[in-house]
Structure 1
Amino acid sequence: MILGFISLLLTFGQSYIAKICIPETLSNTMLPCPIKTDTGTAEAGGGHRRKLLTNALIRGNIQHRILAAGSIVSCPLGKGPLISMNGLHQLHIFIFFLAVFHVASGALTMTLGRAKMRRWKEWETETSSIEYEFSNDPSRFRFVHETSFVRRHTNFWNRITILFYFVSFLKQFFSSVCKADYLALRHGFINAHLAPGSKFNFQKYIKRTLEDDFKAVVGISPVLWASAVMVLLLNVNGWEELFWASILPLVIILAIGMKLQAIIARMAIEIQERHVVVQGIPLVQLSDRHFWFKNPQFALFLIHFALFQNAFQITYFFWIWYEFGLKSCFHDNFDFIIARVSVGVGVQFLCSYITLPLYALVSQMGSHMKRSIFDEQTSKALKKWHQAVKKKHEKGTSHASSVHETSPRGSSPASPLRHMQRYRTIGHTRELSNS
């Protein structure tokens, strides 16, 4: 919707934008292609100059700018148009490419994320079996270092910080979430936010959380738009800025994956430091202090930024290919182009299949549970309750009294609160598993 609105604004104001003139010295600076001078005719490599910003073909007399539509922009001597009509047309095409790849990238992200969580569904089903209840009987005592979760994450390299993070870095590629990790995190979440021993479908909850995170990472913000503009402005011939900009999403995604693996390992180490003997499954301690700046949402913002920049890089490559050809001056160093596209595809797969599902799981280890804990029907009930209280308040009734009064439908507005309290009892939490 935002891309369509931008395209509409460009269509409405294109005649005014094309009349903006700038000094010729400015239009010949910071070009993405080298300028070749040939007997008084200045041309960008392959006959093309900056077709997005100045974007005019200069042939013959430098005072004339020949547009794609055949019209001529009249600018004073020594000045040229900021952007031509042909440049605006190409910008429309670029916006279309962005929209198409945005949809394709989003579909791929959700498909790979759900494929990753398919195995977690088997582990969740196993928690209802007799074998699971017997092997994790709360009355059964075990040494902490003998449990699978603690044994997996406590080794000699944990004492050396560099080795600890190096191992955490490698774990995101090899068995990023094993069965012991999933069951330990599930057990800690249920004990912290629900009644111990609840038959809560943790996998469905993580799936709803992943969908909420997906809504965040496919959005747009002024900060992301500003970063895209900076990438285009700094795309200067010889700087290889696009290659280094494509490396940034890879570094961010790898750093987030390493941090999430380190959080799981830290929780296992804390269990070993606190206890020698444990009952049933080791109990992890949920806290925001495990995350950067004590804010789990900061990692989601970084994922959002990395995916946006990665999508922008891949879209830019296909747009240049479509508009100017695969072997145009924009692709002088073709080895860098191949490396940039390969990194983009790798980042998309890595984030969709590993990092984003891992974040959806580990982010539950924060101090506060997410609103995804409630199913869709409960969320609607809470919204209706909130609207009923708001109407009461607008009529002059105090908020405190409106909570205890009867709603217009004959039910108490506070009934959703009692409904929320069911989730903390063993008997009623079974309803969540069927939601």
Structure 2
Amino acid sequence: MAIKERSLEETPTWAVAVVCFVLLFISIMIEYFLHFIGHWFKKKHKKALSEALEKVKAELMLLGFISLLLVVLQTPVSQICIPRNIAATWHPCSNQQEIAKYGKDYIDDGRKILEDFDSNDFYSPRRSLATKGYDKCAEKGKVALVSAYGIHQLHIFIFVLAVFHVLYCIITYALGKTKMKKWKSWERETKTIEYQYANDPERFRFARDTSFGRRHLNIWSKSTFTLWITCFFRQFFGSVTKVDYLTLRHGFIMAHLPAGSAARFDFQKYIERSLEQDFTVVVGISPLIWCIAVLFILTNTHGWNSYLWLPFIPLLVILIVGAKLQMIISKLGLRIQEKGDVVKGAPVVEPGDDLFWFGRPRFILFLIHLVLFTNAFQLAFFVWSTYEFTLKNCFHHKTEDIAIRITMGFVNFFNYTYYTKA
């Protein structure tokens, strides 16, 4: 005979008080930690990072509000009944897998969990319905839209997704800062006599003979198709090279700073501030990205073989973005040559919004943001499904599925951090 779980009426008050105290202590510690980080950002005049922290708090509050709604609406949603023939569609498992796992009655009755006893005649705690008493839909010959236990599992997934998204953002920012440290040596080089001599403003040279010209002005740049192919493969050999950095630095100074201020300007610190500003965009989750997350959940349906194509979409997007960024730099070189074969001093590039897709530079930032969230979503979904249903389950029941999800999750992550500041 099954043992009924105790309610709060039958639970010692000291046990309830201990649990409440632990939860409050953890929550207060997290709040104080975030407050300390925010105070430190303001003290260091990191305005962009302070705004990013506020966005993280907002996202955590949104996810917490969603979790609260799931708890409050658990019973009403689980009492929404739908016909069995509709409930039998779009399952993660095939019928054979469901029969093997739950028995034939699972398919016939359309219920998520039946009275499944273990060897000691007790309910399995991971397979018992989180309902009060009985299934009201079953007595009507129907099935619950989402069972109370299913809502409880969704609640856990939202928590895992929040943790992974925050960790992804923090690690990405840290790796981006680490990557830009090598640019400090390039910045110091601009203060040397050798650099000043090599970029003498009174010196005339052919555009194709400059370091920037030799890299971007060649036979492959004469055709748009071959230029795209070249830029696609070029991204694998250094997202930002020294010659590109120095040329972009010179072009930025000529466009935005008065003459004679080049020696005092630190372009590397400016890029760091830009990274912090971009970070404020990346940590947020827009409604469009939430809709895409819902579509990802929808694709985990038996027969769609989503593991064969879904993990590769972020990789394809980030590779296209990397090629596009290389393409923009190459077009800057072509614009220099279009003005004349001879340049005076260092070549001056003139970036413009027309070089970006739809004339919107922030669209590329949106794509990068999308890749980060989808990577965090897929790894969070993998960890959650493994925790809830063991390693091999209906969401990834094949070994190659598991290998693809894990491998592509980490490959996409490192590709993302590699190209974010290209």
TM-score tier by shorter-chain length is 0.7 to 0.9
Matched, 1:47 2:102: yes
CA distance in 1 between counterparts of 2:311 and 2:333 reads: 35
Relative to 1, partners in 2 of residues 1:44 and 1:181: Cα closer, same or farther, differing over 3 Å?
farther
Alignment of 1:192-341 (within 5 A): 192-198=255-261, 199-341=264-406
Matched, 1:346 2:411: yes
Q: Are the aligned partners of 2:372 and 2:413 in contact in 1 as well (CA < 8 Å)?
A: yes
| Equivalent position amino acid for 1:73 in 2 | D
Matched, 1:137 2:200: yes
The corresponding residue for 1:108 is: 171
Q: Are the aligned partners of 2:232 and 2:322 in contact in 1 as well (CA < 8 Å)?
A: yes
TM-score of the superposition, structure 2-length normalised?
Answer: 0.77
Alignment of 1:358-373 (within 5 A): 358=422
Uncovered stretches (5+) of structure 1, i.e. residues with no partner: 38-42, 359-435
Residue 44 of structure 1: how far off its partner (Å): 5.3
Alignment of 1:28-47 (within 5 A): 28-36=88-96, 43=98, 46-47=101-102
CA distance in 1 between counterparts of 2:158 and 2:336 reads: 51
SS in 2 for 1:265: helix
The corresponding residue for 1:415 is: none
Cα deviation digits, residues 298-320 of structure 1 (max 9, x gap)? 11111111221121111111111
CA distance in 1 between counterparts of 2:180 and 2:186 reads: 10
Cα deviation digits, residues 396-415 of structure 1 (max 9, x gap)? xxxxxxxxxxxxxxxxxxxx
SS in 2 for 1:331: coil
Cα deviation digits, residues 165-204 of structure 1 (max 9, x gap)? 1110111110221111001111111111111342211111
Relative to 1, partners in 2 of residues 1:48 and 1:276: Cα closer, same or farther, differing over 3 Å?
farther
| Equivalent position amino acid for 1:141 in 2 | F
Residue 242 of structure 1: how far off its partner (Å): 4.2
CA distance in 2 between counterparts of 1:176 and 1:228 reads: 29
Aligned length: 345
Q: Are the aligned partners of 1:138 and 1:281 in contact in 2 as well (CA < 8 Å)?
A: yes
Residue 296 of structure 1: how far off its partner (Å): 0.4
The corresponding residue for 1:72 is: 134
TM-score of the superposition, structure 1-length normalised?
Answer: 0.75
Cα deviation digits, residues 282-338 of structure 1 (max 9, x gap)? 001221111111110111111111221121111111111111001223322220221
Relative to 1, partners in 2 of residues 1:123 and 1:267: Cα closer, same or farther, differing over 3 Å?
same
Matched, 1:19 2:79: yes
Residue 106 of structure 1: how far off its partner (Å): 1.2
Relative to 1, partners in 2 of residues 1:46 and 1:196: Cα closer, same or farther, differing over 3 Å?
farther
Cα deviation digits, residues 30-49 of structure 1 (max 9, x gap)? 00011239xxxxx4553399
Cα deviation digits, residues 351-376 of structure 1 (max 9, x gap)? 11x21111xxxxxxxxxxxxxxxxxx
CA distance in 2 between counterparts of 1:33 and 1:108 reads: 34
The corresponding residue for 2:64 is: 4
| Equivalent position amino acid for 1:57 in 2 | I
SS in 2 for 1:278: strand
Relative to 1, partners in 2 of residues 1:48 and 1:284: Cα closer, same or farther, differing over 3 Å?
farther
Residue 223 of structure 1: how far off its partner (Å): 0.9
The corresponding residue for 1:355 is: 419
Q: Are the aligned partners of 1:34 and 1:45 in contact in 2 as well (CA < 8 Å)?
A: no
The corresponding residue for 1:411 is: none
Relative to 1, partners in 2 of residues 1:95 and 1:44: Cα closer, same or farther, differing over 3 Å?
farther
Q: Percent identity?
A: 48
Residue 163 of structure 1: how far off its partner (Å): 2.0
CA distance in 2 between counterparts of 1:30 and 1:149 reads: 55
Residue 220 of structure 1: how far off its partner (Å): 0.7
Residue 249 of structure 1: how far off its partner (Å): 0.9
CA distance in 1 between counterparts of 2:265 and 2:223 reads: 38
CA distance in 1 between counterparts of 2:99 and 2:317 reads: 35
Q: Are the aligned partners of 2:166 and 2:283 in contact in 1 as well (CA < 8 Å)?
A: no
CA distance in 1 between counterparts of 2:86 and 2:405 reads: 29
| Equivalent position amino acid for 2:112 in 1 | A
Q: Are the aligned partners of 1:97 and 1:319 in contact in 2 as well (CA < 8 Å)?
A: yes
Cα deviation digits, residues 213-236 of structure 1 (max 9, x gap)? 112112111111111111212321
The corresponding residue for 2:51 is: none
CA distance in 1 between counterparts of 2:96 and 2:140 reads: 22
SS in 2 for 1:46: helix
Relative to 1, partners in 2 of residues 1:102 and 1:343: Cα closer, same or farther, differing over 3 Å?
same
Residue 59 of structure 1: how far off its partner (Å): 5.3
Over the aligned positions, Cα root-mean-square deviation in angstroms equals 2.2
CA distance in 1 between counterparts of 2:199 and 2:99 reads: 71
| Equivalent position amino acid for 2:318 in 1 | I
Relative to 1, partners in 2 of residues 1:94 and 1:179: Cα closer, same or farther, differing over 3 Å?
same
Q: Are the aligned partners of 1:33 and 1:236 in contact in 2 as well (CA < 8 Å)?
A: yes
| Equivalent position amino acid for 2:133 in 1 | S
CA distance in 2 between counterparts of 1:45 and 1:190 reads: 68
The corresponding residue for 1:57 is: 113
Residue 71 of structure 1: how far off its partner (Å): 3.2
CA distance in 2 between counterparts of 1:315 and 1:66 reads: 24
Q: Are the aligned partners of 1:36 and 1:44 in contact in 2 as well (CA < 8 Å)?
A: yes
